[in-house]
Amino acid sequence: MIIEVKTNQRNYPIIIERGAICKAAEIVYGEPGTDTAVSGTAKSGTADTGAVGSGFTNSGTAGFDGTKRGIIEPGSKAFIVTDSGIPDKWKEALQRQFPSSPMFIFEQGEASKNISTYKEILSWLASNRASRKDTVIALGGGVTGDMAGFAAATYMRGISYINIPTTSLSQIDSSIGGKTAIDLDGLKNIVGAFWQPSAVIIDTDTLSTLPARQLAAGLAEAVKSGLIGDAGLFEIFEEMEALAFMQPTAQADTLASRLDGIIYRSLMVKKAIVEQDENEASLRKLLNLGHTYGHAYESYYAGRYLHGECVAMGMMTIIQDEEIRTRLGKVLKMLDLPISCDADKGRIAELVMSDKKAVGNHIEIAQVDEIGKAHLETWSIGKLRDMLETVQQ
Ligand SMILES: NC(=O)c1ccc[n+]([C@@H]2O[C@H](COP(=O)([O-])OP(=O)(O)OC[C@H]3O[C@@H](n4cnc5c(N)ncnc54)[C@H](O)[C@@H]3O)[C@@H](O)[C@H]2O)c1
């Protein structure tokens, strides 16, 4: 499956294909299993077909958006950025195809998404003589994508960047939209840039090594996408919930077999929104459903819950329609995501009030009208605080 994303900065393909990581070089350069392309021998798309590398024709699609360019320029050298938690099998799968590419491995975890790792990546690019026509490949979750993407956005005023996300969260959420960032002085994503990738390669096989809790947390964002823009996507989760009588392994197999479709549909929801509102002026805020409380829970629990788990609780707090909350609660439970918590309401209210998205005493929040349809509402901070009293956290 290929999604064509069109933005003002650049258009790019998102390739969703099991096993795609083993074809990354082919997808990028049009030459299988080697980075000889790095020395300048790669074929870019031909004038006849407009094809962008044989990876696309392999995927049953002849080219992307009619351009005659390759995904990256012939002769562009790849610089791989990854973290210490990515299993060797995925690193090796990539390194085999890009044998002369340097690989930068940083310590896994959000704590590394900081200015010193960012600086190390820039120094590593510079010392390896990365040029303006070279490319950064990010292999990893949202932390890797955000940091490698930001380094690519700023090195030599911006070089090409290809994202190979390997967590459910990064495949579903951070693989589209062009947000890149690092944290600073305890403030999350406070330094960053909108920098669209040249391509995104999503291989759901990589999720086979992801811990189940991480997998489920990322799926909270897919549930959110269903709620705001695709009732059919939400119903996929409800169908799985109806299979709750199955053995856990059978349930996991059912989920695995549906992952490509779930990711594709989630990205289509986000694509429709970000293409209309690239810089988050308005519509894009719909994607923040559940995030106002979610971020507050995340700060409050300081690492006890994963981002997606906090979004799950945040959606349960903000959604007002009882029937929708009941349906959502069942789906989240099926995914082993938390739907209530023991947070101190007063402290959550304080954290909500200091949300960086608040303007004066107000904040725009997403609200679900019916499953698959949402709108934005401006709420006073007081209303958000009062909500905490009326809902069971
Ligand atoms: N740019 C955006 O639009 C956007 C959107 C949402 C979130 N984010 C950012 O994403 C980050 C969170 O991303 P995340 O949840 O992917 O966390 P992460 O990148 O820290 O990955 C989680 C853990 O899983 C490990 N891992 C990754 N892939 C694996 C695999 N296939 N098998 C086994 N282990 C694997 C990593 O080493 C890490 O320890 C946050 O910093 C958040 O701000 C960015």
3-state SS of the chain?
Answer: CEEEEECCCCEEEEEECCCHHHHHHHHHHCCCCCCHHHHCCCCCCCCCCCCCCHHHHHCCCCCCCCCCCCCCCCCCCEEEEEECCCCHHHHHHHHHHCCCCCEEEECCCHHHCCHHHHHHHHHHHHHCCCCCCCEEEEEECHHHHHHHHHHHHHHHHCCEEEEEECCHHHHHHHCCCCEEEEEECCEEEEEEEECCCCEEEECHHHHHHCCHHHHHHHHHHHHHHHHHHCHHHHHHHHHHHHCCCCCHHHHHHHHHHHHHHHHHHHHHHHHHHHHHCCCCCCHHHHHHCCHHHHHHHHHHHCCCCCHHHHHHHHHHHHCCCHHHHHHHHHHHHHCCCCCCCCCCHHHHHHHHHCCCCCECCEEEEEEEEECCEEEEEEEEHHHHHHHHHHCCC
pLDDT digits (tens, 9 = 90+) for 168-214: 999 999 999 899 999 998 888 899 999 999 999 999 999 999 999 99
Does ligand 1 come within 6 angstroms of the Cβ of 97?
A: no
Q: What is the pLDDT of residue 84?
A: 98
Q: How far is the CA of 74 from the centre of ligand 1 (A)?
A: 30
CA atoms of 228 and 60, how far apart (whole Å): 31
Residues noted as catalytic: 157, 179, 221, 270, 280, 284, 288, 291, 295, 307
Domain spans, the chain: 2-209, 212-390
CATH architecture of 2-209: 3-Layer(aba) Sandwich (3.40)
CA atoms of 369 and 296, how far apart (whole Å): 24
Name residues of the chain where pLDDT drops below 50: 33-69
The pTM of this model reads 0.88
Does ligand 1 come within 6 angstroms of the Cβ of 166?
A: yes
CATH architecture of 212-390: Up-down Bundle (1.20)
Q: What is the pLDDT of residue 386?
A: 80
Q: What is the pLDDT of residue 142?
A: 96
pLDDT digits (tens, 9 = 90+) for 51-83: 333 333 333 333 444 343 458 777 889 999 999
Q: How far is the CA of 143 from the centre of ligand 1 (A)?
A: 5
**If you take atom 44 of ligand 1, which residue's CA is the nearest one?**
174
Ligand 1 binding pocket mutation candidate from 105, 144, 169 (most atoms within 8 A of CB): 169
**φ/ψ bin of 290: left (φ > 0), alpha (ψ from -120 to 50), beta (otherwise):** left
Ligand 1 binding pocket mutation candidate from 206, 214, 309 (most atoms within 8 A of CB): 214
